[in-house]
Amino acid sequence: MNDVRHDVTQPLLAADEPPPVAVYNAGGTSPLLLVADHAGRAVPRALGRLGVAPSEWERHIAWDIGIAGVGGILANALDAILIQQNYSRLVIDCNRPPGSPTSIPDISELTPIPGNVGLSDADKEARAREIFWPYHQRIEAELEHRRQSGRATALIALHSFTPVFKGAARAWHVALLYNRDPRLARQLLTLLEHQPGLVVGDNQPYVVSDTTDYTIPVHGERHGLPHVLIEIRQDLIADAGGQRQWAEFLARLLPKAFAELAA
Ligand SMILES: [Zn+2]
């Protein structure tokens, strides 16, 4: 059992720990703004690894395997800004509304998360205050800066999904998710459908909703910005070669999809 409890009168993150937000290529000029909610798997030292075994931290439950690598290469290829979260989704999920049932999960896939059981409101608020909000405030600040300078923007949320979930294999190589505004997703789907042999999920294996998502509804839909959530299957981007291949592939298609939309 995890018997480490953060003293809520103290900061959750110590001064020598990573900041919650990483911004790559901050001067990037692309209209495409890349974000990665599940790129990192850091855990505040005060939380004692949440009582979760080291082997579990290698798995998809801790983070979106491969997506930090894809995001970095893609940011460089597009000259786009990439804003990503450094802390694990098991600490607080940065693509869930704070307070929602899966924001700080007691269980992830089939793995219990002892350090998330029985948290006080103050425990939950500390995670939101120090990890969730700084990340989303950074995205919002970037979007506000672009609005004020009249800069065209599309929001691209990068994720990866496990090839096998609760024992079921998944055939899709890549999936595009969206909810109220399918504009950019449709353009990108059209381009992906022309790739021979590629199995593309159209709002599969997940969908975007207000209860299971935060980034697209809040930063994309509410501002009326074109957006898409891209999920890549993790076995395809597990190594540097796969990450480069997928980043270069998306770097060719995303500007085309955005240009089609503008036209
Ligand atoms: Zn994700």
| Mean pLDDT computed over 28-48 | 97
**Å from CA of 121 to ligand 1 middle:** 25
Q: Check residue 81 and give its pLDDT.
A: 98
**Strand pairing report for 227-233 and 174-177:** antiparallel
Residues in CB range of 199: below 8 A, 6 or more apart:
171, 172, 173
Q: How far apart are the first and last CA of the chain?
A: 57
d(CA 149, CA 154): 15
**Å from CA of 86 to ligand 1 middle:** 13
**Å from CA of 13 to ligand 1 middle:** 23
- Are 154 and 32 contacting, i.e. CB atoms less than 8 angstroms apart? yes
**Å from CA of 159 to ligand 1 middle:** 4
Per-residue pLDDT tens digits for 159-190: 999 999 988 999 999 999 999 999 999 999 99
d(CA 32, CA 93): 23
Phi-psi region of 237 (alpha: psi -120 to 50; beta: other; left: phi over 0): alpha
Taken in order of first residue, the domains within the chain and their CATH numbers are 21-262 (3.40.630.40)
Per-residue pLDDT tens digits for 238-262: 999 999 999 999 999 999 999 999 8
Secondary structure of 112-145 as H, E, C letters:
ECHHHCCCCHHHHHHHHHHHHHHHHHHHHHHHHH
| Mean pLDDT computed over 223-241 | 98
Q: Binning pLDDT at 50, 70 and 90, where does residue 263 land?
A: confident
Per-residue pLDDT tens digits for 115-162: 999 999 999 999 999 999 999 999 999 999 999 999 999 999 999 999
d(CA 130, CA 128): 6
* 43-78 per-residue burial string, b: 16 or more CB within 10 A, e: under 16: bbebbbbbbbeeebbebbbbbbbbbbbbbbbbbebb
CA gyration radius, the chain: 18
Residues in the 5 Å CB sphere of ion ligand 1: 38, 64, 159
* pTM tops 0.85, yes or no: yes
Q: Binning pLDDT at 50, 70 and 90, where does residue 8 land?
A: confident
Per-residue pLDDT tens digits for 81-102: 999 999 999 999 999 999 999 9
**Å from CA of 217 to ligand 1 middle:** 15
Q: Check residue 10 and give its pLDDT.
A: 86
**DSSP assigned state of 168:** E
d(CA 95, CA 55): 24
